Amino acid sequence: MADRIGFVTMGEARSAEGEIPSLGVGMLGYAFMGKAHSNAFIKMPYIFWPPPARPKLVAIAGRNQAATAEAARRYGYAKTYQRWQDMVTDPEIQVFDNGAPNDLHAEPCIAAAEAGKHVICEKPLGRNAAESKRMLDAVTKAGVKHACAFNYRFVPAIRLARDIVDAGKLGKIRHFRATYLQEWITDPEFPAVWRLQKARAGSGVLGDLGAHIIDLARYLVGEPKTVNALTRTFITDRPSADTPGKREKVDVDDAFVALVDFASGTLGTLEASRFARGRKNANRIEINGEKGSIAFNLERLNELEVYLPDEHASKELVGFTNISVTESYHPFWNVWWPHGHVIGWEHLFVHEVHHFFDAIVNDKPIAPHGATFEDGYRASVICDAILASAASGGSQVAIAY
């Protein structure tokens, strides 16, 4: 097929020779992540044409039978399960996708791995490092493919940033700073949903948004050596999500700030909050290296800002360049639209699912561009260290995997 459609070089597929295999998918969870992942399974094969395999939507599991049935009908899953225990052994399933709340990450993933399923699990992997370690050990032992769904590795602009780092264009990295700011729970009457309960979520914004920037820090700069951190819970009790009239104590962090000393000598700061009014999804990253800088904001995910004087022919014309990361030669873009026809947040999952299926079908490694359970575990270790540091008033805590 020609790769010029009308005016522009648009990512175009080559012809699909022979039969396209399929891989049976079992999905746990039908809510936010269930919707995002189901969308990706449906969309991946015709976007990444021909796909390594077509996802076959075998089953979806959830405790609420009606809601699960509705989701099955909506997205096209053939079966429903009320008990994940039944689904993870379904012989039609080769891929288990865990989009459930954090307290349902470990046991289903471990059981699925033991049943020989490839496993992709939403972040954070476990509720703490110990739980994540058990999960990592299980998939390692089972020899299945495993991915921790740190989807922001699959932003074209982030992959481009990594390419810039890998090419040495920044030189030694001096500074890394990331803030992931949202505003979802600024209202004190917002209820104490599961994400605000330590028993279910493990931690608060730390495991939710913090884990993303911790993973990106590792992906872009390398391993942290130590952290000093503080956390804060601004609203300490909230209405129960389940029992009208009841109030519940919030026992997780609403925000955290951390200093990070990286093994490379990079000096870093990390911060996440659900109390930053006006910041809808502001995952912002800035890297300053010896030879240049990179800046990114998820709210404008099709753009990357770079300052790389050595890349310019004239010093008078140097500055931060705003790259529309939408050219056919940019990461992931050969499958999409003409340049400037921007993609959205949901498409990161499409890239991720393709990466995972490609790894399974063609026996490629998930790492380094995809995150594995090893990466999920390491993020958990860092989260635990941040909590430990905060508990001691910000004392330095070493990272040890």
Interface of this chain with a second copy, residues 63 to 82, rule: CB under 8 A: 66-67, 70, 73-76
Q: For residues 244-273, which are near a second copy according to CB under 8 A?
A: 255, 257-259, 261, 265, 267-269, 271, 273
The tokens of 4 are what?
Answer: 């010029």
Interaction between residue 318 and a second copy (CB under 8 A): yes
CB of 233 to a second copy, least distance (A): 11
Work out the number of other CB atoms within 10 angstroms of the CB of residue 72: 22
With CB under 8 A as the contact rule, the residue among 140, 240, 281, 334 that binds a second copy is 281
Torsion sign over Cα 269, 273, 278, 284: positive
- What dihedral angle (degrees, nearest 10) is formed by the CA atoms of 7, 11, 17, 18? -120
320 binds a second copy (CB under 8 A): yes
Site for a second copy in 91-150 (CB under 8 A): none
- State the minimum distance, in angstroms, from the CB of residue 382 to a second copy: 16
Cβ nearer to a second copy, comparing 116 with 184:
184
- Cα distance between residue 299 and residue 340, in whole Å: 16
Nearer to a second copy, 26 or 331 (CB): 331
Residue 61 binds a second copy (CB under 8 A) = no
| Binding status of residue 36 toward a second copy by CB under 8 A | yes
The binder of a second copy chosen from 107, 222, 334, 342 (CB under 8 A): 342
Output 79 or 169, the one with its CB closest to a second copy: 169
d(CA 97, CA 41): 11
Of residues 353, 342, 281, the one with CA closest to residue 157: 342
> Which amino acid makes up residue 318?
V
Q: What is the DSSP letter of 19?
A: P
Query: Considering only residues 188-227, where is the footprint of a second copy by CB under 8 A?
Result: 190, 193-195, 226
Contact with a second copy (CB under 8 A): which of 157, 158, 306, 382?
306
> Which positions from 171 through 190 interact with a second copy, judged by CB under 8 A?
174-175, 177, 179, 181-182, 184-186, 190
How far apart (Å, rounded) are the C-alpha atoms in residues 230 and 386? Answer: 8
CA proximity to 147, closest of 185, 113, 118: 118
Minimum distance from residue 375 beta carbon to a second copy (Å): 22
Residue 142 beta carbon to a second copy: minimum distance, rounded to whole angstroms: 29
Structure tokens at 196: 């605000």
User: Which of 397, 386, 399, 398 is CA-nearest to residue 230?
Assistant: 386
